[in-house]
Structure 1
Amino acid sequence: MNTGKSGYEFAVPVLRTSRPPTPNAAVAHWVLDSFTELRSLRSSLHKALTGEPLPEGNFLDEVPEKVAIVATELATNALAHARPPTVVELRRTDDEFILDVADEEPGASPEFAVDRPGGAGGLGLQLARDLALDIGWYVDGDAKHVWARFPVPEV
């Protein structure tokens, strides 16, 4: 339990530990060493999903845009809280895309930001939870993985 500014105790939301659905097949893979690579990640991820460049504007009702935004948020967290490289993988099952973001800080569990003023940052996991079907995390060897599931759009 945490005590917020109001003085009341509240439960800190916890990201559950679990592996993503399997079997899944690799679609694309990126290795990031700096924040400057995030824009390229978002654009190339969108292209991997649709075959098209990321459009201008904001299209949050579309799966490719949701995946691109969540990838950027999770990769930003990894770059901010772990040492490079950050590895981003896009995988898929028959009916879902799986986004997996790995960093080399397996001892640091991902945490939701709570009781933070607007504009202070730290809301990437909450955004991922809101945009994805499901999110989770696990440790594999020397890497921590945070993943998110999205539906494959119907054609």
Structure 2
Amino acid sequence: MTSGLQSESTYPPEEFEPVARWVLDAPEQLAGLRAGLTEKLAEAGTHYTDGLTGVADKMVLVATELATNAIVHALPPTVVQLLKTEDEFVLDVVDHTPDEVPELSLGRPAGEGGLGLQIALRMALDVGWFTEGSAKHVWARFERQ
């Protein structure tokens, strides 16, 4: 697991293949993202346990947090992509505000939000970001179990 989000951009490993993609314009679409991601992970043999004990549980939480950040703080649309290798998954959340560097919200009182990146850093093997044209990608890598 990473100890913090790096200030410079980092790319995920290149060998990941696309599995699914969701385009979101509003918070009301997050439920569809969670359901669709849960279904795709189950098809890949990674099941949701309705807790934070499994990879699918962690991935659904992180996808929701990162997508919420993008919907609230960036220009639409938000695109969430699920990628995989034989051993790992990557969640790639794309927004269209490439000039805003992802930042950890440290010291914010509980209940005031801003914990999405911190949650991703705790749940994922690795978290990074990069820009590409008019898009910013924030990604999180997970073991596939």
Q: Which residue of 2 aligns with 1:92?
A: 84
Q: Distance between the aligned counterparts of 1:110 and 1:128, measured in 2? A: 12
Q: 1:80 aligns with which of 62, 72, 75?
A: 72
1:15 aligns with 2:25: no
Q: Which residue of 2 aligns with 1:10?
A: none
Contact 1:15 1:112 in 2 (8 A): no
Provide TM-score, normalisation by structure 1: 0.85
Aligned-residue identity in percent: 49
The structure that has the greater radius of gyration is 1
1:62 aligns with 2:51: no
Provide TM-score, normalisation by structure 2: 0.90
1:141 aligns with 2:126: no
Contact 2:5 2:121 in 1 (8 A): no
1:107 aligns with 2:99: yes
Structure 1 residue 94 displacement after superposition: 2.2
Q: Which residue of 2 aligns with 1:122?
A: 114
Structure 1 residue 43 displacement after superposition: 1.2
Q: Distance between the aligned counterparts of 2:141 and 2:20, measured in 1? A: 15
Structure 1, unaligned runs of 5 or more: 1-12
Q: Distance between the aligned counterparts of 1:14 and 1:85, measured in 2? A: 23
Q: Which residue of 1 aligns with 2:39?
A: 47
Contact 1:22 1:93 in 2 (8 A): no
Structure 2, unaligned runs of 5 or more: none
